[in-house]
């Protein structure tokens, strides 16, 4: 059903992109038609069917990652859980996740949120960031008529993984609070996990807490790990198959104005147009040179590991409070996981644009 919808939708959007964009997002500008040149060349191929669950903190790059996964023909997203310790607060995070799912024609995907405090400590994202993503960066979406799931995030994660006849790919895009709680309460979940792709960590590169307006004496941690270091340690120690997509890899994929302009000239679906509108709100950040495809790259690697260079490494998460809290330290002790050390940014951008524009079959 989903594929049939996507096929019909793609035909419709390719035929009347202007009408569709205006009808779905009346407050936004119309998307231009693609040029012949933009449609030329072989399209990436998709692999076998994948069952995916997304755990997200609903920031702008999460929106891009979610729309990417919902547009993949071979991916079925069974559930979206919002992590309440991340950038979005629970109530707006749930609402925005439901509406994004509806934008992509998947309004029935169950969505719920988890606890709003870390397992340990009191680290949080800056309140100004949280307010902005809660507010959908000033954008608006058509409302999904469905209510949130009646299950908690941990219950939904657990049932979605346990009930799947196919092993599940779990894609985590925020702090690991929900996932750690689920794995602690039901350790056997690892038996039905094909892989957990974790956007987070900084292994052999600096962290990303040193940003304007944030005064933290920590140059080694990445935000998702910093916010809930104990949760990160629990997940890495769980025995689940894990592929970490740390800053080592995402630093290779900056989101720059060239890509922004390319998307502006090549957006033929509501999904692609929404990403363009979101990035329009992020132009100052993009121009600063500090914006990267963090979560979209992790989502894309979850569908195609060839986009990254992956190698096993043994890591320890520094849990103690202090200047290294949340660090993912390469060491002889700890948990051995797969780590993406490099990424092919050009290949990623190609597949991201094709996927957002519904060109894959
Ligand atoms: Ca995120």
Distance 57 CA to ligand 1 centre (A): 5
Query: What Rg, from alpha-carbon coordinates, does the chain have?
Result: 19
For residue 41, the model assigns a pLDDT of: 61
How much distance in Å is there from the Cα of 56 to the middle of ligand 1? Answer: 6
Q: How far is 195 from 306, CA to CA, in rounded Å?
A: 15
CA 105 to centroid of ligand 1, rounded, Å: 22
The whole-number pLDDT of residue 30 equals 43
Asked if 203 contacts 313 with a C-beta cutoff of 8 angstroms, the reply is yes
Residue indicated by tokens 């060239």: 258
Ligand 1 mean position, distance from CA 11 (Å): 31
| Span from the CA of 33 to the centroid of ligand 1 (angstroms) | 30
CA of 224 to the centre of ligand 1 (A): 8
For residue 61, the CA-to-ligand 1 centroid distance in Å is 6
pLDDT of residue 47: 85
Cα–Cα distance for residue pair 263/250, rounded to 1 Å: 19
Contact yes or no for 134/92 (Cβ under 8 A): yes
Q: State the distance from the centre of ligand 1 to the C-alpha of 133, rounded, in angstroms.
A: 11
- Distance from the CA of 98 to the center of ligand 1, in angstroms? 16
The pLDDT profile of the chain, 361 residues, written as one tens digit per residue, is 344 344 333 333 333 333 333 333 333 344 444 443 444 566 766 889 999 999 999 999 999 999 999 999 999 999 999 999 999 999 999 999 999 999 999 999 999 999 999 999 999 999 999 999 999 999 999 999 999 999 999 999 999 999 999 999 999 999 999 999 999 999 999 999 999 999 999 999 999 999 988 999 999 999 999 999 999 999 999 999 999 999 999 999 999 999 999 999 999 999 999 999 999 999 999 999 999 999 999 999 999 999 999 999 999 999 999 999 999 999 888 999 999 999 999 999 999 999 999 998 8
Q: Which residues surround ligand 1, an ion (CB under 5 A)?
A: 57, 59, 62, 173-174, 295
pLDDT of residue 333: 87
Say how many Å lie between the CA of residue 65 and the centre of ligand 1. Answer: 9
Got the DSSP string for 17-62? HHHHHHHH-TTSPPPPPPPHHHH-SPPPPP-S-EEEEEEE---HHH
Where do the domains of the chain lie, and which CATH numbers do they carry? 7-14+46-356 (3.90.245.10)
Expressed in angstroms and rounded, the spacing between residue 357 Cα and the centre of ligand 1 is 22
Ligand 1 centre from 58 Cα, in Å?
6
For ligand 1, the distance from its centroid to the CA atom of residue 78, given in whole angstroms, is: 19
- Ligand 1 midpoint to CA 223 (Å): 9
Instruction: Give 245 Cα–ligand 1 centroid separation in angstroms.
Output: 12
Distance 200 CA to ligand 1 centre (A): 9
The answer to whether residues 348 and 307 touch, using CB atoms and an 8 Å cutoff, is: yes
How far, in Å, CA of 251 to CA of 350, rounded?
17
Query: Distance between CA atoms of 77 and 71, rounded to whole angstroms?
Result: 10
> How far apart are the CA of 215 and the centre of ligand 1, in A?
21
Residue 120: Cβ within 10 Å count = 13
């Amino acid at each position: 059903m989903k594929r049939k919808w996507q096929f019909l939708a793609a035909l419709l959007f390719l035929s009347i992109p202007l009408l569709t964009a205006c009808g779905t997002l009346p407050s936004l500008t119309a998307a231009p038609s693609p040029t012949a040149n933009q449609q030329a060349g072989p399209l990436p191929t998709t692999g076998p069917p994948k069952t995916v669950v997304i755990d997200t903190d609903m920031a702008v790059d999460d929106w891009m990652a979610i729309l990417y996964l919902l547009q993949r023909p071979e991916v079925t997203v069974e559930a979206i859980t919002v992590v309440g310790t991340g950038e979005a607060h629970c109530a707006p995070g749930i609402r925005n996740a439901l509406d994004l799912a509806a934008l992509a024609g998947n309004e029935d995907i169950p969505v719920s949120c988890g606890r709003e405090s870390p397992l340990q400590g009191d680290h949080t994202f800056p309140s100004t960031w949280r307010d902005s993503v809660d507010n959908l960066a000033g954008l608006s979406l058509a409302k999904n008529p469905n209510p949130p799931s009646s299950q908690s995030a941990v219950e939904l994660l657990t049932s979605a993984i346990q009930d799947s006849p196919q092993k599940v790919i779990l894609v985590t895009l925020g702090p690991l609070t929900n996932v750690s709680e689920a794995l602690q309460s039901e350790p056997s979940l690892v038996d039905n996990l094909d892989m957990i792709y974790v956007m987070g960590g900084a292994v052999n590169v600096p962290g990303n807490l040193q940003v304007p307006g944030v005064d933290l004496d920590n140059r080694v941690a990445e935000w998702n790990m910093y916010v809930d270091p104990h949760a990160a340690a629990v997940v890495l120690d769980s025995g689940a198959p894990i592929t970490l997509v740390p800053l080592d890899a995402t630093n290779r994929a900056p989101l720059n104005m060239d890509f922004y302009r390319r998307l502006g000239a090549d957006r033929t679906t509501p999904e692609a147009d929404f990403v363009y509108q979101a990035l329009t709100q992020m132009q100052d950040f993009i121009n600063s040179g500090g914006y990267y495809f963090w979560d979209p790259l992790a989502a894309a690697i979850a569908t195609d590991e060839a986009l990254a260079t992956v190698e096993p490494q043994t890591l320890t998460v520094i849990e103690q409070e202090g200047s290294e809290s949340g660090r993912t330290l390469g060491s002889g002790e700890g948990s051995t996981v797969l780590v993406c050390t490099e990424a092919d940014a050009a290949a990623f951008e190609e597949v991201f644009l094709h996927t957002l524009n519904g060109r894959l079959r």
